[in-house]
């Protein structure tokens, strides 16, 4: 490891590996460091089809579509009574190869991207912990590391990319990281074998299943090796406060979910229980003089539509373009490095509106589609991740007033109940 690089990327996940690969490919001396040993465990196994374009640009499609992972062909919703919706098959909206995506074991998926950054010219080290980032308004930044042998090294650099995930080193230090007050959720998840799978040639889908009370929803993601990722999500206070262990809470909610009970009837648990909480947040600032945030270090919405990896790749790609342009023009200002934020947020807003719709208690996508069948393709486009092109928000001209009317009716019903 040298003592000076043009660019240092902190974090070897999808966002960091993408940024490092694209920047290094342009001849910019780039160091990529990851604190854990690769491959390492990470949740977020379900991809959106629109990841195709970032993965194509990175040159890793062939490596990923070689049978290592399970194909994901669509999304299916299951209501609190166990009634299954017609799956939203991605090929219905786009019959090209890019409509096919994957359910992945993130350790192996992230390792492919990490190794690809090395192949593109980045210097890559795992088991290397960042102890401190010192940002200087003028001159070089300093990044202090502890390498895998335990030695401390201080590296000087013109450019720092924070891809440290939810640790969000720069925004946490600058106190610009803000938890979303409307999405204070928590998740408990684990893994099973011998769970119900679609029999070939039936396509595999990510299933989203409600509990009887509608207070929780489960994800159900079929992986390779007959493994299924299963997690339950709800408000943080409901899921984690005043209840038993995460295992007990998971099983309590499992028994309240018809769809999950049917799928896990003969299954065997093969992983430990994992917990995450208050994972919806964003930094008020995305870039400054010689630094930028990407992926989860910038923000995370919610796991409901599997947008995490897609937005990590997209932010890494857009930030890399801004960095490359900045080096070419001798401009590593915050304005230059954060120039991608506005077009990025213009796409993210539609995913966020879809998340808000899902968490509206009275709302049902099934009922909305019955009333407005002309929007089925638009909804499928959003589930695919087509939020950065065309007119992704056209269905909200009908959905917004629909949701508003549901809320008004709910308020009127509550008022009538109180009056009586």
The CATH number covering residue 149 comes to 3.50.50.60
**Residue 52 sits in the same domain as residue 128:** yes
pTM: 0.94
**Residue 171 sits in the same domain as residue 30:** yes
Ranges of the chain whose pLDDT falls below 70: 198-203, 409-420
Give me the numbers of helices (H) and strands (E) for the chain, helices first please: 14, 21
Residues 332/317, Cβ–Cβ less than 8 Å? no
**Residue 292 sits in the same domain as residue 242:** no
The pLDDT, as a whole number, for residue 420 is 41
| Beta-bridge partners for 101 | 72
**Tens digits of residue pLDDT in 208-218:** 999 999 999 99
Domain end point (choices 255, 277, 299):
277
Burial of 21 per CB tally in 10 Å (0-12, 13-18, 19+): buried
**Residue 273 sits in the same domain as residue 284:** no
**Residue 46 sits in the same domain as residue 119:** yes
Domain membership of residue 401 (yes or no) is: yes
**Tens digits of residue pLDDT in 248-266:** 999 999 999 999 999 999 9
**Residue 41 sits in the same domain as residue 158:** yes
Range(s) of the domain holding residue 266: 194-277
- The percentage of the chain sitting over the pLDDT mark of 90, rounded to a whole number, equals 83
The pLDDT, as a whole number, for residue 414 is 37
**Residue 332 sits in the same domain as residue 408:** no
**Residue 235 sits in the same domain as residue 285:** no
**Residue 43 sits in the same domain as residue 118:** yes
Domains in the chain: how many in total? Answer: 3
**Residue 272 sits in the same domain as residue 131:** no
Domain end point (choices 277, 295, 317):
277
**Residue 307 sits in the same domain as residue 409:** no
**Residue 165 sits in the same domain as residue 235:** no
Domain membership of residue 328 (yes or no) is: yes
Domain end point (choices 316, 346, 376):
346
């Amino acid at each position: 490891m040298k003592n000076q690089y043009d660019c240092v990327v902190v974090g070897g996940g999808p966002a960091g590996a993408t940024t490092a690969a694209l920047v290094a490919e342009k001849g910019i001396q780039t160091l990529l460091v990851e604190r854990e040993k690769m491959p390492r465990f990470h949740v977020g196994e379900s991809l959106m089809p629109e990841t195709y374009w970032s993965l194509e640009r990175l040159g890793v499609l062939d490596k990923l579509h070689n049978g290592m992972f399970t194909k994901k062909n669509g999304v299916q919703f299951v209501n609190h009574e166990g009634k299954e919706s017609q799956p939203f098959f991605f090929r219905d909206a786009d019959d090209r190869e890019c409509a096919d995506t994957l359910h992945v074991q993130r350790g192996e998926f992230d390792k492919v991207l990490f190794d690809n950054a090395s192949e593109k010219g980045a210097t890559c080290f795992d088991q290397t912990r960042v102890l401190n980032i010192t940002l200087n308004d003028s001159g070089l930044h300093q990044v202090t590391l502890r390498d895998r042998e335990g030695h401390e090294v201080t590296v000087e650099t013109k450019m720092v990319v924070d891809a440290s995930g939810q640790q969000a080193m720069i925004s946490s230090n600058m106190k610009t990281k803000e938890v979303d007050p409307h999405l204070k959720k928590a998740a408990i998840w684990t893994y099973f074998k011998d769970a119900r799978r679609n029999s070939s040639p039936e396509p595999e889908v990510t299933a989203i299943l409600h509990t009887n009370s509608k207070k929780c929803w489960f994800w159900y993601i079929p992986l390779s090796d007959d493994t299924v990722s299963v997690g339950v999500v709800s408000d943080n206070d409901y899921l984690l406060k005043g209840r038993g262990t995460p295992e007990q809470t998971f099983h309590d909610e499992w028994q309240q979910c018809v769809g999950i009970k049917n799928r896990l009837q003969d299954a065997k648990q093969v992983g430990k229980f994992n917990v995450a909480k208050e994972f919806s947040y964003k930094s008020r600032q995305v870039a400054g003089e010689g630094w930028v945030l990407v992926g989860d270090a910038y923000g995370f919405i919610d796991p409901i539509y599997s947008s995490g990896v897609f937005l990590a790749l997209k932010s890494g790609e857009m930030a890399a373009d801004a960095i490359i342009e900045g080096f070419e023009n001798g401009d590593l200002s915050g304005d230059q490095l954060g120039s991608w934020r506005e077009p990025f947020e213009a796409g993210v807003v539609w995913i966020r509106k879809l998340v808000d719709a899902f968490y509206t208690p009275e709302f049902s996508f099934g009922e909305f589609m019955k009333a407005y069948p002309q929007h089925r393709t638009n909804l499928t486009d959003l589930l695919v991740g087509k939020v950065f092109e065309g007119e992704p928000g056209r269905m909200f001209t009908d959905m917004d007033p629909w949701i508003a009317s549901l809320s008004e009716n709910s308020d009127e019903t509550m008022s009538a109940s109180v009056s009586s």
